[in-house]
Amino acid sequence: MLTELLDAFARLVTKRRVAVLVVTVLVTAVFGAGIPRLQADFTPSDLFARFEDEQAAMAAFQETFGNTDNVALVVVQSESVWTPAVMAWIRDVADAARAAEWSGRVDALTGLPVAHEPVVSDEVVEASVFTTLYRVGAGPAAQVRGAVATLAGEEPPEVDDTIPDTVRALAAGETVTLGPAFPDDEVTADQVQTLHDTVSSSPLVVGQLVSGDGRTTVIAIQLADGLDRNDEVAASVHGLLDILDARPPPDGTTWDLGGLPWLRTALIERMRSDQSVLLPLAIFVCVVLLFAAFRWGAAMYGSTLAVVISAVVLVGGMAWVGEPFNLLNNIIPLVIIVIGISDAIHLINRYLEELDAGREQHEAAHRTVYTMTIACFLTSFTTAVGFASLAVSQTEILRRFGWTAAVGVLVAYVVTITLLPALLTVIKRPKRAHAHHEGRFEDAIEALTRGVMRHPWPVLAVTTVVLAGAGYASSQVVIDNAVLDQFDEDDSITQTTRLLEEQLTGIRPVEVYLTSDVAGRFDDPEVLAALDRVAAWAVEQPGVIGTTHYGDVLGEVRVAMTGDTDARDAPLTSREQVELLAGFVGGRDANPLAQWVDDDRTELRLNIRMVDVGARATIAFGHALDDRLEAELGGLDDVHARITGDAWVSSLGLDAVINDLLGSLGLAIVIIFGFMTLLFGSLRLGLLSIPPNITPLVITGAWMSLNGVPLNAATVIIFSVSIGLAVDGTIHVLARFREEVHGEDDVDAALVRSARGTGKAIVLTTVSLMLGFGVMLFSSFVPVRRFGTLIGVTVFGTLIATVVVLPAMLKIAWTPRSAARLADDLRA
């Protein structure tokens, strides 16, 4: 039955070649017409698994405090930022950004308020002054004691000059207003000095908005709520760039961009730029390889046409069904082209072999389709299964990537197995036979195969030792992912981010979101004291830059009111103190408390700033933080704490993605080798195919471990891809061996003929895959370069396993009785 179907299909392709060509042109035109409709969405958060409870917590947090991860940073550097010229420029940029529709909160040194105090009469009642100091819980010890005495009805001590005018004004019932540091158009040196004196000792400013040495500062623009898709973020970043380009900084002052919106926008633009270079380069490399291998124009142009049409059909199909390009599937066209060339090489190699055997063109093309359809289908199917196994992932973007790539591989198979043989029947045959069976290349393959057959046990012994070592090395691979993994160490983005981590706040906050059903709960000093203890613990942990919460802001207000820097760390002792301090700044339009606590005091934020330590360390820190929160807040039944923020949620998502993909790899292995067993009609052949194809994956894992390449969402996909590619050579060898060993008592002779018939094509496809994916090494995107390198390692390992390990296993495990049993099965 199968032979009849293959024969009928071969006749259709070779006899109805005009119909095949016409249908191909029409289909290409229909799908190609959809390409202009293709959209692009490179939103990085789509890469991570979705956890409904974590997403709900983050959504609730952002509803109150905004997306605190979605902050673009203008990093300003100068010999000293505390000059009128620099301050005027910062104010100009910050005001322009604040007016943009894409901006939300904008923080800059020039936006910090300073107290504008009314003139207070010297006749202020001293007792009121001391009462104010007492109520805020600050001031020189003697004055506080005096305030206590006053409240007890005793005479207050004499008021001295250390009492700030702010306190005098409050005691007199005056309103102390806070206003901009630079209210006029002109920025003066005195105004700059006043601002410097006001904030130079504040930990809420120094180390967050400005470095301790005064040489670096940032303008922080939190994007407007809801702007989280790639195109929206990119438009905002380009709007900021337009503002900066229109406002040259003063001489000696430079700026760079930082923050996650800029990193993501730059990442996406580089990937798009890669596409315009890597895809044509991959096609060029494949064309050159085909010409070098076969020295026949038809082989070069026909194969190239087939894979390009495959890519056009796939991309057009994506457009028609509304599947956009994203962070993962943007590489699929390149993958399809490179993989499609492999099938083309095997078809052309077999076609030339049939011509060398003396067959006419039509007969040679018919024989090629008849003998190669199953083998090429198996290679395409197993590769598609490797991709499709990603469907078990919890992450939608990975599932879509898997299905899209799987469909693309099968599209390339259908186009190549129909179009290329049809073209071969109408293209003039090569001027001379290529003498495949008499070439030096085939002689070398035969010599290698005979050497392996003479010493199969030593070959397998060495293989076992190598696998044991590689297996151990693979077990040491680090599972991790960091934002800066995407960029080179000398990249300006990496350098700017490191500067932010060393001198300011970094770009990866972890947020603790506290809630309560009791109004005013977070004005309770007991809760704030517990948060102080959590924060003190956090800053001692590796990778933590600093922390900020509502209580820290109140401490700065106390310093501003009293002039007493010791008051910053003094514990709050009453709800009255908290309410008084909060009331000092809480009534302003731009309420600085709004980013730390809500109006009802039922939602509160603890911000923990971290360096880009990677997902593993972030998860470990998060679990330890959970334990600490439970220890400090567990006794407060009406207070609930959740860890949230992009750094935390994406780290959890990565962990799930890795587990999903490792599971999908096991599923792919079971499906692939089970299907091979069924199609070859031999359990023995199916089992024999497993070790040679697990070997390259283990070697790749060892290479990653030895070269410090982490296992993450980008690199783990390679294993799902590679398991499909790894079996290609094995399939062609086993298919040819099955053909040659049919009715053959001499297994060695069948092995030699199989090696000579497939060896050249296997080597050429290996080289084509290595060179085709090797163009990724020219990418500006680190994960793409790693993808190309790891695929190259896997494919090279596959070549060694196919031409060395597999023959040794067949020599030992395949006997004349096995051949006879296979022949009986085939006849049945």
Q: Tell which residue, 204, 383, 232, 412, has the closest CA to residue 307.
A: 412
pLDDT at position 434 over 70: no
When pLDDT is cut at 50, 70 and 90, the band that residue 189 belongs to is very high
Query: pLDDT tens digits for 17-32?
Result: 889 999 999 999 999 9
pLDDT at position 665 over 80: no
Q: Point out the least confidently predicted range of 81-85, 561-565, 573-577.
A: 561-565
pLDDT at position 754 over 50: yes
pLDDT at position 688 over 80: no
Q: Which residue has the higher pLDDT, 175 or 563?
A: 563
When pLDDT is cut at 50, 70 and 90, the band that residue 167 belongs to is low
Q: Which helix (H) or strand (E) holds 415?
A: helix 396-426
Long-range contacts of 58-61, Cβ-Cβ distance < 8 Å, separation of 24 or more: 58/644, 58/645, 58/646, 58/649, 60/513, 60/515, 61/511, 61/513, 61/605, 61/642, 61/644, 61/645
pLDDT, position 292 = 80
What is the Cα–Cα distance from 625 to 631, expressed in whole angstroms? 10
Q: Which helix (H) or strand (E) holds 618?
A: helix 615-633
As a whole number, mean pLDDT of residues 297-316 equals 89
Q: Tell which residue, 142, 144, 126, has the closest CA to residue 134.
A: 144
pLDDT, position 823 = 46
Q: Which residue has the higher pLDDT, 131 or 188?
A: 188
Q: Which residue has the higher pLDDT, 663 or 343?
A: 343
pLDDT at position 116 over 50: yes
Measure Cα distances from 209 to 176, 292, 445 in Å.
25, 60, 67
Q: Tell which residue, 261, 222, 219, has the closest CA to residue 102.
A: 222
When pLDDT is cut at 50, 70 and 90, the band that residue 169 belongs to is low
pLDDT at position 465 over 50: yes
> What proportion of the chain, given as a percentage, has pLDDT over 90?
31
pLDDT, position 503 = 92
- Is residue 265 within 8 Å of 485, Cβ to Cβ? no
Query: pLDDT tens digits for 623-658?
Result: 999 999 999 998 888 999 999 987 888 788 766 666
pLDDT at position 389 over 90: no
Query: pLDDT tens digits for 338-387?
Result: 888 888 888 998 898 888 888 888 899 999 999 899 888 888 888 888 88
Q: Point out the least confidently predicted range of 233-237, 573-577, 721-725.
A: 721-725
When pLDDT is cut at 50, 70 and 90, the band that residue 414 belongs to is very high
Query: pLDDT tens digits for 499-530?
Result: 999 999 888 889 999 999 999 999 999 999 99
Q: Which residues contact 414 (CB under 8 A, 6 or more apart)?
A: none
Task: Tell me the pTM.
Answer: 0.77
pLDDT, position 366 = 92
Q: Point out the least confidently predicted range of 221-230, 273-282, 433-442, 717-726.
A: 433-442
The SS3 call for residue 815 is: coil
Query: pLDDT tens digits for 395-411?
Result: 777 788 888 999 999 99
The SS3 call for residue 263 is: helix
As a whole number, mean pLDDT of residues 223-230 equals 84
Q: Point out the least confidently predicted range of 38-42, 172-176, 252-256.
A: 172-176
pLDDT, position 496 = 92
Write down the mean pLDDT value for the chain: 82
What is the Cα–Cα distance from 820 to 815, expressed in whole angstroms? 9
pLDDT at position 738 over 90: no
User: How, if at all, do strands 544-548 and 640-644 pair?
Assistant: unpaired
Burial class (CB in 10 A: 0-12, 13-18, 19+), 812: middle
What is the Cα–Cα distance from 523 to 515, expressed in whole angstroms? 13
pLDDT, position 134 = 55
Beta-bridge partner residues of 71: 222
Query: pLDDT tens digits for 777-827?
Result: 888 878 888 888 998 898 898 888 888 988 888 888 776 555 555 444 444
pLDDT, position 822 = 46
- Is residue 77 within 8 Å of 241, Cβ to Cβ? no
pLDDT, position 100 = 94
When pLDDT is cut at 50, 70 and 90, the band that residue 80 belongs to is very high
User: How, if at all, do strands 603-610 and 508-515 pair?
Assistant: antiparallel
The SS3 call for residue 598 is: coil
pLDDT, position 119 = 46
